[in-house]
Structure 1
Amino acid sequence: MHQQAIDKPNTSPRHPDAQAGFARQLDQRITHHLSQLAPAPARLVEAARDAMSSGKRLRPYLLHLVAGDAADRDAVLDMAVALEMVHTASLIIDDLPSMDNALLRRGRPTTHARFGEATAILTAIGLLNHAVSIANGLPRMDAVQRGALVAILSGVMGWQGLVAGQELDLNGFSDADHTGDALDRITRINALKTGALLCAAVEAGAILGGRADGERSLLRRFGEDLGQAFQIADDLIDMLSDSTAIGKDVGKDAGKETYLAVFGAEEALRRCRALLASADAALVGAGLSPEPFRCMIDAIFTPMLDRVPAAQQQAGAAR
């Protein structure tokens, strides 16, 4: 993000308190929606609650910030729940034995590790379905707004979103996919797997906040750059950290064509910082107050990026 913000995080308590307050409200709304699932099987509901019980809540908070204080509070919270359900479903699917085969997520057993593969798949399907149902029933929204929000969720789930990104991440590109060079391929996968959900949060927030078309265009660029930066940072952590330190399985990118694998750790770190600066410029250009965004992104990226030099030094000492 803003270079000064990354190098010296904002320690003002105002923005962290605001984010924590929103997270508490979001958790309450998640609990409310999950309580409405009965008479669904109790084991399925328990799996959904377990999967939804933790996380950075980055995408919901991003939606909230873009929507702004003038947006309908109930609609923002409900749409944030829907988006978090899609995100959680995508993690459940990514972790499956037939996908990344991960046993640890957010410091706890993955859904299939705790509840079995069949229940995990059914939980993900249920969460995706319920997310659309929430968006389609948002209060005090007209039909056009509801349709646009449902379209955002459908798009991020589907053939030009998470489904496509996971397929390409697992099995690579075929000759019919008309790809360019390595950078083009990496950028496309990152946009589909990571950027799609961040852009969905930004776009949904812009609709709920009544943002003008010019603002929405710049905000989408902000989401795209942030998504690329986040995936590069995540790749760095996957290679340079251990599972105990970050709370999830690592080494899952071995053999994949990532920015880190192709260009090396130093260039990946430089590219990540450049993308964060570009995202910050787009945010400022859109006319939104950047400080709450900067504080949120610093809190996520600074711990991730600070691990890179330390890990490189340890690797050098080991050699």
Structure 2
Amino acid sequence: MHQQAIDKAKAAPTHFDMQESFVRQLDARITHHLSQLSPAPARLIDAASDAMGSGKRLRPYLLHLVAGDVADRDAVLDMAVALEMVHTASLIVDDLPSMDNAMLRRGRPTTHARFGEATAILTAIGLLNHAISIANGVAGLADGQRGALVSILSGVMGWQGLVAGQELDLHGFSDRDGVDDGPLDRITRINALKTGALLCAAVEAGAILGGRPDAERSLLRRFGEDLGQAFQIADDLIDMLSDSAATGKDCRKDVGKETYLAVYGAEEALRRCRGLLASADAALVGAGLSPEPFRCMIDAIFTPMLDRVPQAQAASAAR
């Protein structure tokens, strides 16, 4: 009997296997949706395909995990594609010469570097619009659910989401922005808008597709908020302490900005990041979801990022 249990455990798919399987299905669905763009100009389709051709797929997988097995598989995949389109569009815009002026993203030339600034802008607009179209056409849902998904996407794009976060990141706060509690308040707000908003959108969309009750959804939103804050701090650490060869994107683009790292230093930033991850985990457990798949996903993303910090600090001290 003991040997049978061992054999069964060996045969069971690991969380990594399940994530890989989902990403393969997601990539196939992305290809399907991009193939429906014709007769749009071929150059725009090429730019969109190039921009969406790689990535961690963190937000779609998070949506999938929250939705759970009871959700319709096609609905989850379609909404995951829509979410990834919004994320990709935001990266295209972030990288523009008038924004961060980045030339490298995901180890490849940024969209404007390869296709030109005008095509990059048009591609981002096209992806945002198509994301809304996909969400509005998700099959098998009540009108209220479909409307909620559209509202989530439009909200994360706009005045209280990515647009607001990018503006504040570039130009800071004015006296009318209602943030006067010091640097931590300002940093937390920018991180929530630029990074947390998309993670919360993934969680909320997954909760709708999975029919999660309101009590669970409240805790899951806190999970997304804490995860977003932790992710941005980790990203800031890597941006300042690593290089483009290791990260696959331009580094040190945040020099001069008011980030958690810049204000509080690397040691405190690392401590804060780990504390936020612990808080996110507690919210997840409180929501009653099986935490192990989420923990495996978070560990796979954050461990390589955070492990670079002491290595980079040691290399810097040796110079």
Counterpart CA distance in 1 for 2:53 and 2:318 is 39
Equivalent residue, structure 1, for 2:315: 314
- The alpha carbon displacement at 1:211 in A equals 0.1
Equivalent residue, structure 2, for 1:64: 64
Counterpart CA distance in 2 for 1:161 and 1:65 is 23
For 1:52, give the aligned amino acid: M
Equivalent residue, structure 2, for 1:237: 238
TM-score (norm 2): 0.96
Counterpart CA distance in 1 for 2:174 and 2:242 is 32
Residue deviations 1:250-304 (CA, integer Å, cap 9, x gap): 0000000000000000000000000000000000000000000000000000000
Equivalent positions of 1:149-164 (< 5 A) are 149-164=149-164
Equivalent residue, structure 2, for 1:281: 282
- Runs of 4+ deviating beyond 3 Å: none
For 1:298, give the aligned amino acid: D
Equivalent residue, structure 1, for 2:177: 177
For 2:221, give the aligned amino acid: R
Counterpart CA distance in 2 for 1:291 and 1:66 is 12
- The alpha carbon displacement at 1:175 in A equals 1.0
Equivalent residue, structure 1, for 2:209: 208
- The alpha carbon displacement at 1:315 in A equals 1.0
Residue deviations 1:102-145 (CA, integer Å, cap 9, x gap): 00000000000000000000000000000000000001111100
Equivalent positions of 1:83-98 (< 5 A) are 83-98=83-98
Counterpart CA distance in 1 for 2:269 and 2:55 is 25
SS of aligned partner of 1:127: helix
For 1:188, give the aligned amino acid: R
SS of aligned partner of 2:97: coil
Question: Identity rate of aligned residues, in percent?
Answer: 85
- The alpha carbon displacement at 1:173 in A equals 0.5
- The alpha carbon displacement at 1:230 in A equals 0.1
Counterpart CA distance in 2 for 1:315 and 1:37 is 48
Counterpart CA distance in 2 for 1:138 and 1:273 is 37
- The alpha carbon displacement at 1:57 in A equals 0.1
Counterpart CA distance in 1 for 2:190 and 2:83 is 20
Equivalent residue, structure 1, for 2:228: 227
The structure-2 alpha-carbon separation of the partners of 1:254 and 1:13, relative to structure 1 and needing over 3 Å to count, comes to: farther
Equivalent residue, structure 1, for 2:258: 257
Equivalent pairs, count: 307
Counterpart CA distance in 2 for 1:175 and 1:162 is 21
Equivalent residue, structure 1, for 2:108: 108
Equivalent residue, structure 1, for 2:267: 266
Counterpart check, 1:132 vs 2:151: no
For 1:140, give the aligned amino acid: G
Aligned Cα RMSD in Å?
0.8
Counterpart CA distance in 1 for 2:168 and 2:265 is 21
Gaps of 5+ in 2: 1-11
Counterpart CA distance in 1 for 2:312 and 2:28 is 38
Counterpart CA distance in 2 for 1:55 and 1:316 is 32
SS of aligned partner of 1:223: helix
Counterpart CA distance in 1 for 2:13 and 2:39 is 43
